[in-house]
A and B are shown apart, each in its own frame.
Chain A
Amino acid sequence: GDSVTQMEGPVTLSEEAFLTINCTYTATGYPSLFWYVQYPGEGLQLLLKATKADDKGSNKGFEATYRKETTSFHLEKGSVQVSDSAVYFCALRPGGAGSYQLTFGKGTKLSVIP
């Protein structure tokens, strides 16, 4: 079945450091890929998405590129802030009509220190 593997946390960075959170997936066909963020005490919010190979999703300074050849969707940010401290989830939705379920990775907790 489909699966998502993301790097184990927690990740601790200093403010203005470069961030990479790795995400790889296993799926048949052409899934859509998502990054969600969960701030403390809140539900998940969509951060960015990509729906086909070589698409780049971006939002709030975060970017991720859909790489079909390496089945990856790594999250990057050039300069993190304390306010980026949260748990980040990579997710996929299978391609094809009627595929609504998301498969999530286990999440990566990011802590940014001043």
Chain B
Amino acid sequence: EVQLVESGGGLVQPGGSLRLSCVASGFIFSNYWMHWVRQGPGKGLVWVSRIHSDGGSSTSYADSVKDRFTISRQNAKNTLFLQMNSLRAEDTGVYYCARAADGYNYFDYWGQGILVTVSS
């Protein structure tokens, strides 16, 4: 069974940092592109970032988080990360990790989500 479990969220002050983790199980993690998607309170889904299956060859970011967030992965530990720096109030929301289906651009499995609150 495919499982994605996020952790690392919480309350942080504006300008602060957090590191989210997503532990994968039930599939060969190193074979899949992985993404982060967030959802502000009462709002829609917003794509944040993606990383190539090998972890090093390709990463992409939404303009709103570029130069502040860094996506990475450790395939040996089946773990995806999102390092979030210079956090703003508008970064508040639930963050989901999602797996991109093999050879496709859709997300076939999502984690349960982790709440990040940026507030003083």
Partners in one complex: no
Task: Write the residues of chain A forming the contact surface with B, with a CB cutoff of 8 angstroms.
Answer: none
